[in-house]
Amino acid sequence: MPTTFTLNGKKTTIDADPETPLLWVIRDDLKLTGTKFGCGAALCGACTVHLDGEAVRSCQIQARDVEGRDVTTIEGVTGNVAAAVRAAWIKLDVAQCGYCQSGQVMAAVGLLSQISKPTDQDIDKAMDGNICRCSTYHRIRAAIHEASTTLPG
């Protein structure tokens, strides 16, 4: 069944079963493999993308949910917040194995887009659903604070 939505700023039409997880639409149908499969059950955050600017788990969003809506993946996230996060991630060398990092970055951008000066508590509440088996959490936290220093209050 055809579904039309905006992906990373471009109008996109796919022909998929309406119940297909968005994650598989992105990775298999549209070949954007930056978004990762981790658990398939909304438990790890590796598949985080933005739906209308809000972080969601693409393994739980179905193709029919995105009709007429805006989807942003790690390949297409732009703007001053994304630039600040990218710079901080590089400066603090956040990633270790890197598998979870596209989800972490999308979550960090989602957080800083709404709370430009987050506290540690804000970071805990906003990032707790994004798991890192390398335990880079302390660097993720530091990088979010670092990015926030470059953003207007």
**Between 48 and 148, CB nearer to another protein:** 48
**Between 10 and 68, CB nearer to another protein:** 68
**x/- site string to another protein, residues 5 to 24, per CB under 8 A?**
--------------x-x---
Between the two ends of the chain, the Cα-to-Cα distance in Å is 44
Tell me which residue has tokens 């990775």. Answer: 27
Which amino acid type is present at position 72? T
For residue 115, the minimal CB distance to another protein (Å) is 6
Residue 122 makes contact with another protein by CB under 8 A: yes
**Between 93 and 132, CB nearer to another protein:** 132
State the DSSP string of the chain.
Answer: -EEEEEETTEEEEEE--TTSBHHHIIIIIS--TTSPPS-SSSSS-TTEEEETTEEEETTT-BGGGGTT-EEE-TTT--SHHHHHHHHHHHHTT--SS-TTHHHHHHHHHHHHHH-SS--HHHHHHHHTTS--TT--HHHHHHHHHHHHHTS--
**x/- site string to another protein, residues 55 to 74, per CB under 8 A?**
xxx-xxxx--x---------
Residue 116 makes contact with another protein by CB under 8 A: no
For residue 62, the minimal CB distance to another protein (Å) is 7
**Between 63 and 95, CB nearer to another protein:** 63
For residue 113, the minimal CB distance to another protein (Å) is 9
**Contact residues for another protein, defined by CB under 8 A:** 19, 21, 40-43, 48, 54-57, 59-62, 65, 107, 110-111, 114-115, 122, 124-129
